[in-house]
Amino acid sequence: MSVLQRIAEARLPTPFAEFRVQVFGSADGKEHVVMALGDLETGDAPLVRIHSECLTGDALFSLRCDCGFQLEAALAAIAKAGCGAVLYLKQEGRGIGLGNKIRAYALQDQGSDTVEANHQLGFPADAREYDLAVQLLKELGLARIRLMTNNPRKHDALVRDGIEIVERVPLQSGRNPHNEAYLRAKADKLGHWLTLP
C-alpha cells in the first residue's frame, strides 16, 4: 500500500503551458506537487524533473543557487516537448530545512562552501531521499523517463528502485558570480555533472 495520498488536482496555467497540478500527501505530513503536461502514459519516456523545494531560489529569486533557474528551464523544456512532469518535493535545503539552510548561508558568508557549511551544522552534504520520487513516478504510471538532472545520486537512486532512465538530459542554467563557489562545490565535492570553466 502506497504511503502517498492524492489530495487535490486542478489545472494550472503558467507562462510556459497549462499544466495539471496535483498535490500528494506523504506519511510525514508533507505535501508534494506534481506538475504534469500531456498524456504521460501513452508517450515514450517523457521528460521528468525531480526538483527539491528551494524557497529562496524558486520564489525569492536568490542568485546563491541555480534552483529557480533549473525549475524554469525544466518547465520550459516540458512545454516545448508537449509532455512531461515536474515532481516538486518538500526537501528544502538539500533536506535540512529552511532555517538550517539560512544558517548554512551565514557560514558560507564567512568562507565555507555549501558542503562544509552543512557539515559544520551537523548534517550530511545532502540529506535528500528519492523514495517518494519513485513512488510518485509509479503513481503517474511512469517506468521509463528522460530525466533532467545533473545529480548522479538522484539518477542512481531512481535506477536502483526500478525506474528506467532512457536519457539523462543536462540542466545547466543560471550561472552567475554569486553561485560560482556553490556550483564548484557541487561539481567537485558532490560529483554533479556540470561543465564549469
Range of the domain at 172: 5-91+128-190
Question: Using 50, 70 and 90 to split pLDDT, how confident is the model at 2?
Answer: low
Q: Is 146 a domain residue?
A: yes
- Residues carrying an active site annotation: 126, 128
Supply the pLDDT for residue 1: 36
Question: Using 50, 70 and 90 to split pLDDT, how confident is the model at 196?
Answer: confident
Count of domains for the chain: 1
> Is it the case that residue 44 has pLDDT exceeding 90?
no
Q: Is 153 a domain residue?
A: yes
The answer to the question of whether 53 is labelled as a binding residue is yes
Question: Using 50, 70 and 90 to split pLDDT, how confident is the model at 41?
Answer: confident
pTM recorded for the entire structure: 0.93
| Cα gap 63→10, rounded to integer Å | 31
| Cα gap 20→33, rounded to integer Å | 10
Give the mean pLDDT of 26-44: 90
Q: Is 148 a domain residue?
A: yes
β-bridge partners, 145:
165
The answer to the question of whether 49 is labelled as a binding residue is yes
| Cα gap 89→36, rounded to integer Å | 14
Q: Is 119 a domain residue?
A: no
* CATH number of the domain residue 176 falls in: 3.40.50.10990
| Cα gap 158→85, rounded to integer Å | 15
Q: Is 104 a domain residue?
A: no
Q: Is 163 a domain residue?
A: yes
The answer to the question of whether 92 is labelled as a binding residue is yes
Supply the pLDDT for residue 195: 87
